[in-house]
A = this chain, B = another copy of it.
Amino acid sequence: MHPPTVEDVARVAGVSRQTVSNVLNAPQRVRPETRERVEAAIAKLGYRPNRMAQSLQAATSRMIGYRIKPADPHGLSSIHDRLLHAMSEAGRAADHHMLLFTANDEDEVANVQALHRAGAIDGVVLYGIGIDDPRPPALRRLRIPFAAFGRTGVDSDHPWVDIDNAAGTAAAVEHLVELGHRRIAFVSGTVGAAVADRCAEGWRTALDKHGLLDGSHGLNLRGEDTIATGERFGDALLDHADPPTAVVGANDTLAIGVLRAARRRGARLAVVGFDDTPAAVAMDLSSVRQPIEAVGHAIIRALLNEGGPTGLLLNPELVVRASSALP
């Protein structure tokens, strides 16, 4: 009834249990014929080492914590499922698994600490990192291993993997400039979100490169990350005295809002989003696609090989669709 243990295997193979353990953990130390006998017994019994016992003795759970937040009711479903799958897949090679937990913003660190002290997780993956995010320093102080999707402000000295957001919006701007656009607006979410700031930076840099920065006053809008806000922004931009002919969004949610406003008014307005969510596909919205699978793998690698390189910047890729057409 109960799953077989080393002892059972040993009995069946006619050896002691340590020999069984050796077969599993130091195969070279055991005579081939004995090994085969033990392996046969293992296969016959369908024996699997008990992970809890292993964890207990090794003081390692081979579990990685991930805080799963409730889906934003106003935003688009994001890329969590892709990220989670990638991380699970990456962890598999090292025999690690993802453990999900929930928490409020305020007590996320406390929850992580509790889980860590309880030996339930070896480390944690952070995301949604803000410019002055308190979590990295807090976890460092607590000596809890972690890796983050995203970096804090200036010099993030913790292990992180991030998308080069600036490069993403810059690529979007380049694309639009190439199509002949000269007035290109930018819409993004809350100030303080590192992501939004870096996206803005890419937009500004690319405009500047083409000498287009001067005419861009009043074309940088920031607000909540909702479709409704995006729609308001779209209206505002189109009502502008000298309206832009193109808009770059820091995410698909806002970009889709803008696109809806444009389509509703029958206005010609090129729009490029960010994230390449399924909704972008549905709406024919050009969007900057993040290599989330690569991010997931890199994060797990960074977390498991502690002390490796402290940061990794990955390049997103512009996916062109109908929403960015000739002006």
Chain A residues with CB under 8 Å of chain B are 2-4, 46-53, 55-56, 59, 61, 63, 68-71, 75-82, 84-85, 88-89, 92, 97-102, 113-114, 116-120, 227, 256, 260, 277-279, 281-283
Contact = CB atoms under 8 A, between A and B. Distances in A.
26 contacts: A3-B117, A3-B118, A3-B119, A4-B117, A46-B113, A48-B114, A48-B118, A49-B118, A50-B56, A51-B120, A52-B120, A56-B56, A68-B85, A75-B278, A76-B279, A77-B79, A80-B81, A85-B102, A92-B102, A100-B100, A256-B282, A260-B282, A279-B279, A279-B281, A282-B282, A282-B283
Contacts of A63: 99
Contact of A48 (B78, B117, B277): B117
Contacts of A282: 76, 227, 256, 260, 279, 282-283
A46 B117 contact: yes
A116 B46 CA distance: 11
B50 A53 contact: no
A89 B117 contact: no
Given A48-B117, A52-B56, A89-B102, A283 B281 contact: no
Contact of A88 (B92, B100, B119): B100
Contact of A69 (B50, B85, B92): B85
Contact of A97 (B2, B80, B101): B101
B100 A97 contact: yes
A81 B68 contact: yes
Contacts of A283: 279, 282-283
A118 B97 CA distance: 13
Closest 7 CB pairs of A and B: A76-B278, A52-B55, A279-B279, A98-B100, A48-B117, A48-B118, A279-B282
